[in-house]
Structure 1
């Protein structure tokens, strides 16, 4: 085979530790000895990245408590709570996010359980977000610990292709924030999301456009974001359990079988995704919830807890510059059945008194003797805070309630959270 042809067919390789570019035959970097070599035919042309922090909450805790490095760590609270996060050691023992805490402790009795410290996690997330924004202005946060980036056209700015820029970024996160990230690199958001799940933790995986359909064909339909168990069961009943089976449909047949979204479903099964990376993802709702220490069935027992959640929700609304156009009450029964009830507010509000009055009325209708294990409160739809709590003929007291809330928050900011409390937030004596 001519030398020029062999070189044209060679697969690009990148050392993720020193950014050297060894030749294809190397299994270790000749410059630094690292075995962490990324290799892919499209490695230096892919520009859409999905960055996901590895076991983020648990990693932040291990960063701050190095003695826990080799221990199974679970983030959560109480025997009746659920697992917020689990480190990879705990995951090898069968612990998973959203698992009831008592089941997690059955699977991993020696787990170190740590109550979540969201202020600390948010601070670390903001550090990572700032490092992302040094790479490209096109950063779309997906949650506190993951984001999508579009690095198209950044090679001239950074002097390296996106893959090398991201490898350098991952090293900075480890060095400056103290946690690790995994990167999925692809030509679109969907494939980048699928790629990042293929090499965790501390990984870098690529899926190219040329290989996407064949690579996805044997995968179950549930690998697609948004295809949950119920929809997957419906697809399986129709003979479509894998993405390859969906790929056989044309757009018209897909729409006939699955409705208006059928064509999009089949396109995604082939790895096609036209969504752009949009930096400011719209916030659709803000909420707060808690799991009771014991099942509660009386409204009088749940109301103080509901009030405290309404205060927390109002504070979160204020931090983000929003107000509630409506209120959503969430309850989970002792048998884990969920009830969701909502009501529109006469006027938008970011004041806990107003939110609580609406939520309390919803709770009164649901407190029928059923034992509940969880209660939550949410604001939806969200509206701009500037037009909230102005008052009108129907509710002239709204501005006064807003002023009282502002005064209470000012006192708390100066003298501490316990400086002032509303009586309705005090627990009911048993």
Structure 2
């Protein structure tokens, strides 16, 4: 089962039976009979029937890069801020003021500036953002060892069994964390609390910025039923179109399918899709997923300038990278290309993948596009490829239906790897490996 029935919280002496538990997010008061906290006067009251029974949280910093810059430049507090490059670049992050104008991540800068011409544009300072992200991560790890990073500014926490240690249920501990981050780091976070990772992710996206949303086990299926299928992570435009053509536009329609019918309609990924539509998710929170990247590289015996020769080496490195990812039960959420020139100058380029993958073809194609832009007559002595950010292997390829060929590519790669394990590394090779 993805989650069991919650253990019902016992009403305190001050809370009548039938009234759901509540906390004040600003002072931890747990008996709040009205919309205003009787202790501190705050109206940020969190109330839910399962509030004290849930322990899986998704924590996401609000417009993190832009928030850090506004913290350091208070005069920008009321200004729209965009983090990104020149007019030919793309938006990395936009503050919420800019988002109200239609600006969003990955939008071309020229479009963003057309929508928000008065925006203050700031080039990313990744070293600063990584430093602040680590500070927040350390605060999370002080509360539980079960913290799984999703990116610089996002993580999942499992606070099961920590109530005795902290002398408070997870909901109260998380409210304290939010205040600590604001006080010590100067940015805000949003929190989703639920019985599992999927629902926690959905919850955090329902209340941003500076939000705290709860989805309980008892309400999950009913709450999800009227939502569009695109609410589920991994269901992009192509998959949504496929589902719509089969008559499925709402999660409740998918949730009604049993495993056999779901497999008949949508293949081997169908049962998992239907289960997620019901809010089911058995993935544990694994702290070892805090690995920042997985990579491989090689230094040449002689400097290389030609694209075709570099591509052949890049392909072999990509296969090696995918084996390392599989060994760690990880997938690539993005690709990093590393090049070192004959004069030892380092070039790194990166791109996000549309969907996580651990098979060579989509990773190689993304890296090859980066490489083609760097082959300009420069002589290179080293090439490397890495996966960053990382994702769970179970979220890769088989569930990525935006590319109809992705499941077939995954099966081909798995079959080739099995043959290599049995007959040796040279038993099966791709043609491009022999160039």
With normalisation by structure 2, the TM-score equals 0.68
- Secondary structure of the structure 1 residue equivalent to 2:287: coil
Q: Please list the CA deviations of residues 285-305 of structure 1 after superposition, one character each: whole Å capped at 9, or x if unmatched.
A: 559xxxxxxxxxx97xxxxx9
Aligned-residue RMSD, C-alpha = 3.3
Counterpart Cα distance in 1 of 2:111 and 2:157: 36
| Cα deviation, residue 327, structure 1 | 12
- Of residues 332, 346, 362, the one that matches 1:311 is 346
Aligned to 2:44: 36
- Of residues 22, 27, 30, the one that matches 1:18 is 27
Aligned to 2:17: 8
Q: Please list the CA deviations of residues 374-393 of structure 1 after superposition, one character each: whole Å capped at 9, or x if unmatched.
A: xxxxxxxxxxxxxxxxxxxx
The reply on whether 1:50 has 2:50 as its aligned counterpart is: no
1:310 and 1:356 in contact (8 A); partners too? no
- Secondary structure of the structure 1 residue equivalent to 2:261: helix
| Cα deviation, residue 307, structure 1 | 5.0
| Cα deviation, residue 248, structure 1 | 1.4
With normalisation by structure 1, the TM-score equals 0.68
Aligned to 1:365: none
Q: Please list the CA deviations of residues 38-69 of structure 1 after superposition, one character each: whole Å capped at 9, or x if unmatched.
A: 01000011100000000000000000000000
| Cα deviation, residue 108, structure 1 | 0.3
- Secondary structure of the structure 2 residue equivalent to 1:8: coil
Aligned to 2:383: 355
Counterpart Cα distance in 1 of 2:362 and 2:213: 42
| Cα deviation, residue 260, structure 1 | 1.3
Counterpart Cα distance in 1 of 2:99 and 2:89: 18
2:339 and 2:348 in contact (8 A); partners too? no
Aligned to 1:186: 194
The 1:75/1:330 distance shift into structure 2, 3 A limit, reads: farther
| Cα deviation, residue 306, structure 1 | 6.1
The 1:285/1:227 distance shift into structure 2, 3 A limit, reads: farther
Q: Please list the CA deviations of residues 189-237 of structure 1 after superposition, one character each: whole Å capped at 9, or x if unmatched.
A: 0000000011100010000000000000011111111111111111111
Aligned to 2:310: none
Counterpart Cα distance in 2 of 1:42 and 1:205: 12
> Equivalent residues in 2 for 1:84-123 (5 A)?
84-123=92-131
| Cα deviation, residue 72, structure 1 | 0.1
2:91 and 2:106 in contact (8 A); partners too? yes
| Cα deviation, residue 339, structure 1 | 4.8
Moved >2 Å (runs of 4+): 282-287, 305-314, 325-332, 338-342
Aligned to 1:59: 67
- Secondary structure of the structure 2 residue equivalent to 1:353: strand
2:207 and 2:213 in contact (8 A); partners too? yes
2:156 and 2:197 in contact (8 A); partners too? yes
Is there any run of 5+ residues in structure 1 with no aligned partner, and where? 288-297, 300-304, 315-324, 333-337, 343-351, 358-430
Equivalenced residue count is 318
Aligned to 1:74: 82
Counterpart Cα distance in 1 of 2:262 and 2:70: 48
| Cα deviation, residue 311, structure 1 | 2.2
